[in-house]
Amino acid sequence: MISHNIWQEQGLVNATMGVVEDVVWEEGAERSDLPLVVLVSCLTYKGPTLCHTEPWPGFPEGVPIVPIAPVKMTWQTHSKTCS
Which tens digits make up the pLDDT trace of 38-72? 999 999 999 999 899 999 999 999 999 999 998 88
As a whole number of angstroms, the distance between CA 46 and CA 81 comes to 37
Which tens digits make up the pLDDT trace of 5-29? 999 999 999 999 999 999 999 999 9
Widest Cα–Cα separation across the chain: 52
Helix (H) or strand (E) holding 68: strand 64-68
